[in-house]
Structure 1
Amino acid sequence: MNSGFTDILLLLAIAVVLVWAFRKVKLPAILAYLTAGIIAGPDIMGWIADPDEYHFVAELGIVLLLFSLGLEFSLPKMIAMRGQVFGLGAGQVVICTTLFAVLAVYFVEDWVSAFIIGCTLALSSTAVVIKQLGESSQLTSKKGQMTVAVLLFQDVAVVPMLIVIPLLASSSDISMWESLGYALLKGTGVVLVLMAIGKWVLPHVFREIAKLRTDELFVLATLLVALVAGGMTHLFGLSMALGAFLAGMMLGESKYKHQLEADIRPFRDILMGLFFITVGMQLDLDVFVANIHWIIGIVLGVGVVKLVIVRVLAGLMGERKEDAWGSGLMLFQMGEFGFVLASLALSFKLFDQTTASILVGVGVFGMALTPLVIQRCKSFVSYIIRPTTQPEEDNLPYPTDEHSRVLILGFGRVGQTIARFLTNEGIDYLAIDHDAKRVQEAVAGGQKVFFGNAIRRDILRAVHADEAELIIISFADDERAIDVLKAIRNLNEHAEIIVRSRDDVRLKAMMEAGATQVVPDTLEASLMLVSQILSRSGVPIRKILSRLDHARRSHYGDMHGFYPGETTDMDPEKLDRLQFLHAVSLPKNAFACGKKLIELGLEDLNLQIKSVRRGEQEFIEVHGDFELMTDDIVLLSGGPRAIEAGESYLLNG
């Protein structure tokens, strides 16, 4: 077998195993690719003796990454967030780059290398941070928005950095400023040409391609546009990534934006993976191990500097200190574009292999810590500002021996809506919320809201939760709601407790924890749609209300289970709690043919039979004495693994 083919095969195999393993422990895939590169590189297994062989293909990953970034780059969004983007973002990049470059001069004794190190360390990881913000539901928070604004400016700042590095390596006699001016002139010309093509040519091209409804042609055209734009800027002596970014920006305002992004993503992710593998191959393990103390020190030092700078800048802009500290904490790591800059500088021999290996090590350590830091961000911030926030918290209204028939736990949008309706009906209520700003705003507006964490028993006793007749848990945090339910039931066994939930995944657990009624957002939205549809279809309102009441009284019994699709979230942590529907057709020699349901005992597999279709007939309610026949189609309801086992049992025994 060809040795090159064997090398690629081994590389893919180790990448697949490592990505799976890293995702299982909730670490970014980028770290898996870097580790795969380290293992495959010359220092360990030596499968790939010369990483430069794959450099061009890996560079295409950067081109497609910048193309995707251009697609997401929205001028209106930039204008709307201009204060944070150009104030906080620009300040962070400029100050951090300058400070890190000045510090680096003492170690590398070369201002060019020091400047590139400053640029590299000033950037944070857009891919890892935004993914973690989304997974931890902090993307729409104030600190999340501030973090995104800084990352947005950093991503834009990468473009001039990519232009400057080749100029710094130039051996021309022309001065640096003349080179920059010349590059700016060339860049302006290329931008104008590409923008003209994007405005007057590409929309017509993609319109014609879209009419043919050929996915392959659309994908090919997308790749061609990204690569041609990159090739044009490369011809003018600029970065290929810059051309790809401009091409993406041109198409970002078109109606094809989302389709283009979906088409390019698989190629981008695979090629980006290859790029990070080549970065890992460049890591000199001897240097890495010898300088591990420096690497850890740089990660901590860079993190502290970024934290303080973002805190000070955000404070000057009038942001809350909790949000300022939180945003600074999230941006502590070196980003994936840092690897790009380090790799580019190394290829132009602007600094040595030792420096590159140390920077790669800094990036690896930072990215490994990022998921933990973002998930625990609130705890870290609370610890940092604990001494200074105590007086403010003392000014918040805490519950002290307050009574009310109705207790609302959580005063977000849903809790406030409930409160308005109760007020309109003259029903007294009392609310608790742990968001200090929200409580202050609500109290100023005349609402009866107190600051406190509903899981704490001293808070529950202070509002006499042991005597309340009706308690509503209105926040959509299912795990926290279960803990609150247990705390309430230890105090009050008789109150009716209505719990809001995102879906029906933890409905059973909530009922077991003491909920009187669980109201899942997803299922209730379905019921509201159904009521509107039935009403407009001429069904009497009394009948509609009866159907809705039956669904709620049966705890949405008929609504559990759904047919999964390609877009269904198959997160292993959620998989065991999901309820799927699956149709099983019984062929002639199936084990279940001729057997009664009571003989099969499907209940032991945690399965339900929703219906059985026999030709044109459909049997909705089937019982133990119902006999299955050849060509019956059995609709099973249960967990994914139970359904797999049930199908195998019905067919093979």
Structure 2
Amino acid sequence: MNGTFADVLLLLAIAVVLVWAFRRIKLPAILAYLVAGIVAGPDVTAWIKDPDEYHFIAELGVVLLLFSLGLEFSLPKMIAMRRLVFGLGAGQVVICSLLFAGLAYAWLGNWTAAMVIGGTLALSSTAVVIKQLGESSQLTTRTGQATVAVLLFQDIAVVPMLIIIPLLASTSADISIWESLGIALLKGAGVVVLLMAIGKWVLPHIFREIARLRTDELFVLATLLVALVAGGLTHLFGLSMALGAFLAGMMLGESKYKHQLEADIRPFRDILMGLFFITVGMQLNLMVFLQNVHWIVLAVLVIGLIKMLVVRAIAGFMHEREEDSWAAGLMLFQMGEFGFVLVSLALSYALLPQDIASLLVGIGVLGMAVTPMVIQRSRSMVAPLLRKIKAKTDVDINQPDVSEPKKVLVLGFGRVGQTVSRFLTTEGIEHLAIDHDTKRVQEAIAGGANVFFGDGGRRDILKAVHADQVELIIITFAEDSKALEVLKAIRELNDHAEIIVRSRDDLRLEEMMAAGATQVVPDTLEASLMLVSQILSRSGVPIRRILARLDQARRSHYGDMHGFYPGETTDMDPEKIDRLQFLHAVQLTDNAYACGKKLAQLGLDELAIQVKSVRRDNEEYSEVHGDFTLQQGDVVLLAGGPRAIEAGESYLLNG
């Protein structure tokens, strides 16, 4: 027992260090767990004597993963995207599975192993791809939708694969695979009917009663029990436990408790899935991996190329844009987390040799490692394939007359850019918009809008529309990084124009102002100002005073609105943490270092901290300057970054 405890403790320590290190370099946590398994496994340190001891815990992780997948499975969303899901998604899975299975059979000469390999390599990583699409603001684009549709069908395809793998192992000479599959489908149909009946008529009453008691522990226990009982039921029928968990999640996914269930199950799922991926890492034969690293790199490239060509061909047949087709195919090049699940399952049924399983794990690890970089650079990577198309597009689009500079230039013709353009048109102000979305520009020109096709960040395009002579330029991009890049490019050409920049929030406000913006308009802060103006108006405050206050807030670059009090739900993403502005109240105790000192003496500016106000004896001093002396009992309201706030509090109290 002591040895097992020490092993688990060691695994957790390795996992914590590696997850931290991998997240620092923006690699997925799944890779960290796989590497932790490799380090603790028999080929590196051999700290874990028997990896099979952790098989049951790892299987629980897979069960909870499939339960979560069932919860997130949305029938309405699938119906809404049915054309892409059952056209592009189904085509990709079927064609890629057959192609990879054919190649594997030519290599191994074993149809059973070839079928497993074909299904495994056809899948891509839902977790990594969707996370990267979200971070690169591509989730709502047409490319993102096509990619998500394929991933959605792949998630559905995992379920029959989980049924087929045990059948491949149990099929005897007397019973063909098709008979076994037919029997399994009948069993599966019976289990589905039984679980759906329980989900419709029994579970809602149970969860309603649990919710009424308002006991979090009971809700968590009930959720775990439902997932495990469903898994146990399908296991009893000779099917995969993961299939039962998926069905249980699907039945509860339509209930009003869906989001609570998801939140409750996530910590258990993540920890157990971490252990599952660690056990997968332990199965990697490092010697086989190192001896065949060149073949693994080649396999990743070939698999990626085949997937990209298949997606491009199907998407082209469905009349999707060529740019979106290539990019979606490129994003799906890697083997996914469910591929590891299938490899582990096939290994437990002895359907795959150990060295082949190690090669598949190696292919998966390498593919997922480079996925973030590939998705972030997907557009530039497919650009060479699109040069001919883009040249043709430039000819097809009727570009507006740009021989003379316009009064106003609008960069970006999304919803915000179009709204700005409508108001300018209504007021009769001559303007020109620029956008690089072909379809949007064609639609806009057909509708009578004055839009020029091109990338607003390129100097040659900016020169073509006379950005060096325009007096007022509005940048409306949704991505702050893109807006900043364009702002710098414009300022190199034009140092006198007024430039108004739209941003998501105030995280990069100072950086944009430093780069030459005349005014930055953050969506979140402006929405707050509009809400406040409505509230003040309905509270009887004169409209002139309201407008004066709004104008003051904008002139001070939203100075009084920077900073907020953090809570438990505040997004503490490591990538954003340094740019957030928090508010924090510090009470000066009897022996506090700052007592009796003037603000100028303390030099808090050097710590990048601003004193917003000081409260003393129920009186608030909102405007405090360098000659203001702090006293014992004062409550000092600090504004600044999280780390600066911590340093400032320590300095005020201890010196």
Shift of 1:607: 1.5
Q: Residues 604 and 610 of structure 2 are in contact (CA less than 8 Å); yes or no, is this contact kept in structure 1?
A: yes
**Mapping of residues 21-100 of structure 1, within 5 Å:** 21-100=21-100
Shift of 1:400: 4.0
| Partner Cα separation in structure 1 for residue 626 and residue 298 of structure 2 | 69
CA RMSD of aligned residues (A): 1.4
1:561 aligns with 2:557: no
Which residue among 621, 624, 631 is the counterpart of 2:623? 621
Q: Secondary structure at the match of 1:572?
A: coil
Q: Residues 393 and 436 of structure 1 are in contact (CA less than 8 Å); yes or no, is this contact kept in structure 2?
A: no
Residue deviations 1:197-235, cap 9 Å, x none?
Answer: 111111111111111111111111111110111011111
Partner of 1:131: 131
1:497 partner letter: I
Shift of 1:394: 3.0
Residue deviations 1:299-327, cap 9 Å, x none?
Answer: 11111111111111111111111111111
Q: Secondary structure at the match of 2:521?
A: strand
Partner of 1:140: 140
| Partner Cα separation in structure 1 for residue 479 and residue 588 of structure 2 | 42
1:487 aligns with 2:515: no
Shift of 1:384: 2.0
Partner of 2:6: 6
Partner of 2:585: 583
Partner of 1:356: 357
TM-score using structure 1 length: 0.98
Shift of 1:362: 0.8
Shift of 1:403: 1.8
Shift of 1:496: 1.4
Partner of 1:293: 294
1:11 partner letter: L
Shift of 1:171: 5.0
Shift of 1:2: 1.9
Residue deviations 1:72-95, cap 9 Å, x none?
Answer: 111111111111111111111111
Equivalent residue pairs, number? 653
Residue deviations 1:15-57, cap 9 Å, x none?
Answer: 1111111111111111111100001001111111211110010
Partner of 2:187: 186
Partner of 1:548: 550
1:384 aligns with 2:363: no
Q: Residues 397 and 451 of structure 1 are in contact (CA less than 8 Å); yes or no, is this contact kept in structure 2?
A: no
Shift of 1:8: 1.3
| Partner Cα separation in structure 2 for residue 116 and residue 620 of structure 1 | 69
Assess, with a 3 A threshold, how the Cα gap between structure 1 residues 429 and 388 changes in structure 2: closer, same or farther.
closer
**Mapping of residues 1-400 of structure 1, within 5 Å:** 2-172=2-172, 173-398=174-399, 400=402
Shift of 1:350: 1.0
| Partner Cα separation in structure 2 for residue 426 and residue 23 of structure 1 | 51
Q: Secondary structure at the match of 2:362?
A: helix
| Partner Cα separation in structure 1 for residue 473 and residue 398 of structure 2 | 20
Larger CA deviation: 139-148 vs 283-292: 283-292
| Partner Cα separation in structure 2 for residue 454 and residue 111 of structure 1 | 54
Q: Residues 402 and 462 of structure 1 are in contact (CA less than 8 Å); yes or no, is this contact kept in structure 2?
A: no
| Partner Cα separation in structure 2 for residue 436 and residue 290 of structure 1 | 48
| Partner Cα separation in structure 1 for residue 489 and residue 95 of structure 2 | 49
Q: Secondary structure at the match of 1:573?
A: coil
| Partner Cα separation in structure 1 for residue 540 and residue 55 of structure 2 | 66
Q: Residues 406 and 471 of structure 1 are in contact (CA less than 8 Å); yes or no, is this contact kept in structure 2?
A: yes
Larger CA deviation: 136-145 vs 491-500: 491-500
| Partner Cα separation in structure 1 for residue 481 and residue 396 of structure 2 | 30
**Mapping of residues 624-639 of structure 1, within 5 Å:** 624-639=626-641
Which residue among 387, 403, 418 is the counterpart of 1:416? 418
| Partner Cα separation in structure 2 for residue 472 and residue 176 of structure 1 | 64
Which residue among 616, 620, 643 is the counterpart of 2:645? 643
Shift of 1:271: 0.6
Larger CA deviation: 547-556 vs 481-490: 481-490
Q: Residues 34 and 276 of structure 1 are in contact (CA less than 8 Å); yes or no, is this contact kept in structure 2?
A: yes
TM-score using structure 2 length: 0.97
2:177 partner letter: M
Q: Secondary structure at the match of 1:635?
A: strand
Partner of 2:450: 448
| Partner Cα separation in structure 2 for residue 309 and residue 222 of structure 1 | 40
Larger CA deviation: 101-110 vs 614-623: 614-623
Q: Residues 137 and 479 of structure 2 are in contact (CA less than 8 Å); yes or no, is this contact kept in structure 1?
A: no
Q: Secondary structure at the match of 1:431?
A: strand
Q: Residues 330 and 374 of structure 1 are in contact (CA less than 8 Å); yes or no, is this contact kept in structure 2?
A: yes
- Runs of 4 or more, structure 1, over 6 Å off, are none
Q: Give unmatched runs, 5+ long, in structure 1.
A: none
Residue deviations 1:368-412, cap 9 Å, x none?
Answer: 111111110101111222234322223335564232111111111
Residue deviations 1:75-122, cap 9 Å, x none?
Answer: 111111111111111111111111111111122111111111111111
Q: Residues 97 and 119 of structure 1 are in contact (CA less than 8 Å); yes or no, is this contact kept in structure 2?
A: yes
Larger CA deviation: 331-340 vs 601-610: 601-610
Q: Give unmatched runs, 5+ long, in structure 2.
A: none
Larger CA deviation: 245-254 vs 288-297: 288-297
1:499 aligns with 2:501: yes
Larger CA deviation: 473-482 vs 16-25: 473-482
| Partner Cα separation in structure 2 for residue 484 and residue 90 of structure 1 | 40
Q: Residues 616 and 634 of structure 2 are in contact (CA less than 8 Å); yes or no, is this contact kept in structure 1?
A: yes
* % identical aligned pairs: 76
